[in-house]
A and B are shown apart, each in its own frame.
Chain A
Amino acid sequence: MTENPSSAPKIRIRGLRKAFGSKVVLDGVDLDVPTGTSFVIIGGSGSGKSVLLRCILGLIQPDEGLIEIDGVDVLRAPRREREERIGEIGMLFQNAALFDSLSVWENVAFGLLAPEATRHSEKHPRLSRTEARARANAVLEQVGLDSSVGDLSPSELSGGMQKRVGLARAIADRPEILFFDEPTTGLDPIMGAVIDGLIVDCVKTMGSTAIAITHDMASAQRIGDEAAMLYQGKLVWQGPATSLMHSGNAMVDQFTHGRREGPISMELRR
Chain B
Amino acid sequence: MNTLLDLVALLGRTVFVVTRGAGSIGLFALEGISCFFRPPFYWRVFLRSLLDTGFLSLPVVALTALFSGGVIALQSYTGFAQYHAQSAIANIVVLAVTRELGPVMAGLMVAGRVGAAMAAQIGTMRVTDQIDALTTLRTHPMKYLVAPRLAAGVIALPLLVVVADILGVAGGFTVATVKLGFAPDNYIAATMNALKTEDVMVGLVKATVFGFLITLMGCYYGYTSRGGAEGVGSATTAAVVSASILVLAFDYLLTDLFFAQ
Contacts and interface: CB of A to CB of B under 8 A. Distances in A.
Residue of A58, A90, A91 with most chain B CB atoms under a 10 A cut-off: A91
B139 A114 contact: yes
Given A83-B138, A89-B136, A90-B136, A116 B40 contact: yes
A87 B40 CA distance: 17
Interface stretch (A65-73, A92-100, A199-207): A92-100
A189 interface: no
A169 B139 CA distance: 14
Interface string A81-124: 00100110111011101111100000000110011111100000
Nearest to A93: B129
Contacts of A93: 129, 132-133
B130 interface: yes
Contacts of B133: 91, 93, 97-99
Chain B interface extent, by class: 10 to 19
A1 interface: no
A86 B140 CA distance: 13
A85 B164 CA distance: 51
Chain A interface extent, by class: 20 to 34
Given A115-B40, A117-B40, A97 B129 contact: yes
B129 A116 contact: no
B137 interface: yes
A132 interface: no
Interface in A116-155: 116-119
Contact of B132 (A54, A101, A111): A54
Contact of A114 (B125, B129, B132, B138): B138
A42 interface: no
Contacts of B128: 95, 97
Contacts of A58: 135
Contact of A111 (B40, B124, B138): B138
B223 to A, nearest CB: 14
A59 interface: yes
Contacts of B129: 93-95, 97
Nearest to A124: B138
Contact of A117 (B39, B132, B135): B39
A101 B132 CA distance: 16
B137 A97 contact: no
A115 to B, nearest CB: 4
A123 to B, nearest CB: 13
A111 B137 contact: yes
Contacts of B132: 54, 57, 59, 93, 97
A12 B40 CA distance: 33
Nearest to A111: B137
Contacts of B130: 97-100
B171 to A, nearest CB: 36
Contacts of A97: 128-130, 132-133
A115 B148 CA distance: 14
B97 to A, nearest CB: 36
B192 to A, nearest CB: 45
Interface in B134-161: 135-140
A54 B40 CA distance: 25
Nearest to B140: A116
Contact of A59 (B39, B135, B137): B135
B139 A110 contact: yes
30 contacts: A57-B132, A57-B136, A59-B136, A87-B138, A89-B136, A90-B136, A93-B132, A93-B133, A94-B129, A95-B128, A95-B129, A97-B128, A97-B129, A97-B132, A97-B133, A98-B130, A99-B125, A99-B130, A100-B124, A110-B139, A111-B137, A114-B137, A115-B40, A116-B40, A116-B138, A116-B139, A116-B140, A117-B40, A118-B138, A169-B137
Given A59-B136, A101-B121, 4 more contacts: A86-B136, A111-B137, A111-B138, A114-B139
What are the 10 A-B residue pairs with the smallest beta carbon separation, nearest first?
A: A115-B40, A97-B129, A97-B133, A111-B137, A91-B136, A119-B138, A93-B129, A116-B138, A114-B139, A97-B130
